[in-house]
Chain A
Amino acid sequence: MRGFSGFLAYRLFRTLVALWLVSTVVFVVMRLSGDPVPLLLPPDAPISEMERVRHDLGLDRSLAVQYGVFLGNVIHGDFGRSIHFRQPAMAVARSYLEATFELGLVAFTIALVVAFPLGVISAVKRNSFLDHAAMGLALVGQSAPTFFIGILLILTLSLRLDLFPTSGRGDWRNLVLPALTLGAFTMASIARITRSAVLEVLRADFVRTARAKGVTELWVVAKHTLRNAALPILTITGLQFGTLLGGAVVTETVFAWPGIGRLAIQSIYNRDYPVVQSTVFIAAVLFIAINLVLDVLYGILDPRARA
């Protein structure tokens, strides 16, 4: 019989295994993608110079040794020096994190604040005009590709109406278009899952019982329904956070937003392994931490999930 702390310890263990898997995959993929040394030096650099750089970066050792060194460094949060920036890679990645946090947080907040009430109302007033309008819009938002939403926003609000800048980071006006772009999918998903989760619970026997007892409709929704609908909503919201991180890669690229997603893409093109590893590692830690929190919430909300 495991208690709640046992459940947590077990989740933590799974988390560490997931992190190890992520680091290993990143290591393998990046080492397979080619030699970065020719990118660092002028084309006419002598072989000896290339060998020296290769040695400095530890690339002349066997893959097994490189992997061992890599894992040891990962534990210390050290991914070596950036090949492109010539600074510690983790510090480079961390310096880009703030911009991504700013964008992600604004996007997620907008999405949640709009989507959750909309989903609940759509479920309660099922088949009303509001339900159809909200869900129709949610569907468009969910099926539209992030990068094209960005392109359309740039074309209409930026190039035609000249309301917001097309790219870069600065005051709040720079934030509007990327946040809308990044939040669109999340908003749509949360609205739809909230609606269907609430609908599902509204059909349950205990809701009928509550209604039969004469409980007011507002109380039925607020007390009996939302608590029980919270589990699927929570799960999807957590998954949305991962989608949001992925969406940040595309959104930041479209809007030239100086965040960690754009850094990751550029570093892949530059074959700057240490930075790529740092960015992916940060993204993974963030996502796993969020899911761990969600698991704990899940365990609190539903004792059956602690098994």
Chain B
Amino acid sequence: MSDAGAPPSGAVALALPAPQAGRRVRVPRPLVLSALFIGLLALVAVAAPILAPHNPERGSLRARLKPPTREAPDGKTYLLGTDQLGRDVLSRMVFGTRVSLTIGFAAVAVGGLVGGLLGLVAGFQGGWVDEVVMTVADAQLAFPFILLAIGIIAVLGPSFPNLIIVVGLSGWVTYARVLRSQVLSLRQRDFVSAILGLGGSVPRVLVRHILPNVASTFMVIATLELARAIVLEATLSFLGLGIQPPTPSWGGMIQEGREYLDSAWWISVFPGVLLMLTSFMVSRTGDWLRDVLDPTLRGES
């Protein structure tokens, strides 16, 4: 990430007068912060068994619904409190990170691959291929995907792979639509007809000339889609159709704490805030990526 961002920043800083130079240097800092946050989260997911202070699935009956405390009646520390079964909220959040990140990244891979390919081909080929892809896209967009997701999961059962497929396929339309419209305008540009006229093959044009032009857009969408995928998984788990208890997931925790909102707000609020923060940091990264990657915005004053 810093490799991609640093050289152009340096180049622009050299070329532009001092005030702009100062502004350019400051840009990556929040990006670094977001990237650090995501890295840290990934680390937490990997090292969950080491980091979690308690067993996330075993509660202590003497420590039910305890507020965030340094010492509960059973002599243990529950930094973020316990839930209705006396399970440690912090430990469950730590393990929930695994669910969110795994499903999030895998879903982005599924959606990006399907949507990216279809968008490229539809935009470049046009004709009936474009018709079919865009009609299916329209149909998918035509009703709330959450209903389809619920229907599919009701049929297939809420397992990890099923969630990845459902959440992944929920996002392909975005890639396909945006890339298609970009490719559509790119292929009318002179350089594309020139290369085709000089005998360049279609795959060559797609890979060497179209792809680099849409790569930054793709990166930006993928990052924003990661945030959306994490939120969708949490939403499904919140509705009881995602990760099933007792396996901890952020959405499931928020759902479990809903009944105790008045007396034990921490059960819902802590995982919710972490979910919000994660989604925020990831989408922020997408925004900064766009600013750094999009050549038309670069050096803009």
A residues apposed to B, CB below 8 Å: 14-15, 17-19, 21-22, 25-26, 29-30, 32-34, 139-140, 142-148, 151-152, 154-155, 159, 203, 239, 242, 245-246, 248-250, 253, 261, 264-265, 268, 276, 279-280, 283-284, 287-288, 291
Q: Is the interface of A mostly helix, strand, loop or mixed?
A: helix
B residues apposed to A, CB below 8 Å: 131, 134-136, 138-139, 141-148, 150-152, 154-155, 227, 231, 234-235, 238-239, 251, 254, 258, 261-262, 265, 268-269, 272, 275-276, 279-280, 282-284, 287, 296, 300
Contact between chains at B147 and A280 (CB < 8 Å):
yes
Contact between chains at B155 and A17 (CB < 8 Å):
no
Q: Which A-chain residue is minimally distant from B287 (CB atoms)? A: A139
**Whole-angstrom distance between the Cβ of A32 and the nearest chain B Cβ:** 5
The 5 closest A-B pairs by CB, nearest first: A246-B144, A21-B139, A143-B279, A29-B151, A143-B280
**Whole-angstrom distance between the Cβ of B282 and the nearest chain A Cβ:** 8
Q: Which B-chain residue is minimally distant from A24 (CB atoms)? A: B139
Chain B residues within an 8 Å CB radius of A154? 261
Question: What CA separation (Å) do A268 and B254 show in the bound complex?
Answer: 22
Known pairs A159-B262, A242-B144 / 9 extra A-B pairs, C-beta < 8 Å: A14-B131, A140-B280, A144-B280, A147-B254, A148-B254, A151-B254, A155-B269, A265-B147, A276-B147
Contact between chains at B254 and A287 (CB < 8 Å):
no
Contact between chains at B265 and A155 (CB < 8 Å):
yes
**Whole-angstrom distance between the Cβ of B96 and the nearest chain A Cβ:** 14
Q: Could you list 23 examples of A-B contacts with CB < 8 Å?
A: A18-B139, A22-B139, A22-B143, A34-B154, A143-B276, A143-B280, A144-B279, A144-B280, A145-B276, A147-B234, A147-B251, A151-B258, A203-B300, A245-B143, A246-B144, A246-B146, A250-B239, A265-B147, A276-B147, A283-B143, A283-B144, A283-B147, A291-B141
Question: What CA separation (Å) do A222 and B283 show in the bound complex?
Answer: 31
Chain A residues within an 8 Å CB radius of B279? 143-145
**Whole-angstrom distance between the Cβ of A122 and the nearest chain B Cβ:** 14
Contact between chains at B155 and A152 (CB < 8 Å):
no
Contact between chains at A151 and B142 (CB < 8 Å):
no
Chain A residues within an 8 Å CB radius of B142? 18-19, 22, 242, 283-284, 287-288, 291
Q: Which B-chain residue is minimally distant from A14 (CB atoms)? A: B135
Question: What CA separation (Å) do A26 and B300 show in the bound complex?
Answer: 48
Q: Which B-chain residue is minimally distant from A282 (CB atoms)? A: B143
Q: Which B-chain residue is minimally distant from A144 (CB atoms)? A: B276
Chain A residues within an 8 Å CB radius of B147? 246, 249, 264-265, 268, 276, 279-280, 283
Contact between chains at A25 and B148 (CB < 8 Å):
yes
Checking A29, A142, A291 against B148 with a beta-carbon cut-off of 8 angstroms, the contacting residue is A29
**Whole-angstrom distance between the Cβ of B41 and the nearest chain A Cβ:** 14
**Whole-angstrom distance between the Cβ of B246 and the nearest chain A Cβ:** 21
Question: What CA separation (Å) do A25 and B155 show in the bound complex?
Answer: 13
Chain B residues within an 8 Å CB radius of A268? 147, 150-151, 154
Chain A residues within an 8 Å CB radius of B148? 25, 29
Contact between chains at B239 and A152 (CB < 8 Å):
no
Contact between chains at A250 and B234 (CB < 8 Å):
no
Contact between chains at A287 and B143 (CB < 8 Å):
yes
Question: What CA separation (Å) do A264 and B154 show in the bound complex?
Answer: 13
Question: What CA separation (Å) do A120 and B231 show in the bound complex?
Answer: 28
Contact between chains at A18 and B150 (CB < 8 Å):
no
Chain A residues within an 8 Å CB radius of B152? 29
Q: Which A-chain residue is minimally distant from B152 (CB atoms)? A: A29
